[in-house]
Homo-oligomer: A and B are copies of this chain.
Amino acid sequence: MTTYTKYLTFNTRQEHEYINITLEVAEAIEESGVKDGLVYVGSMHITSSVYINDAEDGLLQDIETWLEKLAPARPDYKHHRTGETNGDAHLKNLIMGHSVTCPITRGRLDFGPWQQIYYAEFDGQRPKRLIIKVMGE
């Protein structure tokens, strides 16, 4: 069995950003030499997510609008008593998930034609880390 670990760092210009990281994950799989197994891709933070969906600009705007409705930025979260102002980013993370696991077959992401891996930042403009862990043989 082989394991291979890689870290990425993001420092987004915007507070919210959706970054397609499919190529970076594919690269890590290639570097690992793993031909069959699983790859875990996870945010190391609690105000950003990793999810799988379509690389389509309109949809990314729809997701942003929709998340703002389901988990709105508001001044009155109890979490803000700590001095933080990012309560909504924690809740957006909970809807979208902190990580994905993906199958690897014949050395590649075993994906359908539209699956893309995204890092979704909800509290950016500072360095945030992500971990990729490949496991297989």
Q: Interface of A with B (CB < 8 Å)?
A: 1, 3, 5, 36-38, 40, 42-46, 51-54, 56-59, 61-63, 66, 70-71, 77-82, 87, 90-91, 93-103, 105, 110-112, 114-115, 129, 131, 133, 135-137
Chain B residues with Cβ below 8 Å from A103 are 5, 40, 42, 131, 133
- Tell me how far the C-beta of A41 lies from the nearest C-beta in chain B, rounded to whole angstroms: 10
Q: List 10 A-B contacts (CB under 8 A).
A: A3-B137, A5-B103, A5-B105, A44-B115, A46-B52, A54-B90, A58-B77, A59-B90, A66-B91, A135-B135
Q: Which residues of B contact A98 (CB under 8 A)?
A: 51-53, 100, 115
Complex contact A91–B114 (CB within 8 A): no
Q: State in angstroms the CA–CA spacing of A81 and B71 once bound together.
A: 25
Q: Find the B residue at minimum CB distance from A34.
A: B3
Chain B residues with CB below 8 A from A61, complex form: 78
Q: Is the CB of B133 within 8 A of A135?
A: no
Given A38-B135, A133-B38, A136-B135, A78 contacting B91 (CB threshold 8 A): no
